[in-house]
Amino acid sequence: MSTRTVLHEADIARALTRISHEILESNKGPHDLVLLGIPTRGVPLADRIAAHIAEFSGQAVPTGSLDVTMYRDDLHRNPTRAPHPTQIPAGGLDGKVVVLVDDVLFSGRSIRAALDALQDIGRPSAVRLATLVDRGHRELPIRPDFVGKNLPSSRDERVNVQLAEIDGIDEVTIGS
């Protein structure tokens, strides 16, 4: 089994800085932005992006988490998935530009589940998607607005994102 590191700590930091600038530019500033991380690793990524946006713009951006477990269409294949708490910022989502943040975009099914979950919570004015790694192989017509790294891969390969907040190290590896 061969594994190689495709993003190191500095690469992840640069990618998140770029994504943060792109979000600010696309939204014409931090106004009405809400970042929602998809557990597990999307949550610390959303927090990091929010910290960058606050640093660049001087304005804090609300963050939260959006658990999509019960909205997934593959629970019958993996019923042991543990739900995480959904935490919506105090101002809610109605009329806001919500940026969903996830670590890896693969089939698009997690994002479809996130869109379904959002319907039960509020009515954002727009929903955008930021992902650290886009590895292709979409099964649904979903495309990220902000990408840290496009990583062509085979379906058999596994992309593993590790973040310091959870794993004690920042790196992205790919292996078979």
Residue 115 neighbours by CB under 8 Å, 6+ apart: 127
Buried/exposed 126-141: b ≥16 CB within 10 Å, e otherwise: ebbbbbbbbbeeeeee
Architecture of domain 10-154: 3-Layer(aba) Sandwich (3.40)
Bridge-based pairing of strands 33-37 and 126-134 is unpaired
- Note the pLDDT of residue 73: 79
- CA nearest to 114, candidates 134, 130, 136: 130
pLDDT in tens, 141-173: 999 999 999 999 999 999 999 999 999 999 999
- Note the pLDDT of residue 76: 66
44 vs 83 pLDDT, higher one: 44
Give residue limits of the domains in the chain.
Answer: 10-154
pLDDT in tens, 98-149: 999 999 999 999 999 999 999 999 999 999 999 999 999 999 999 999 999 9
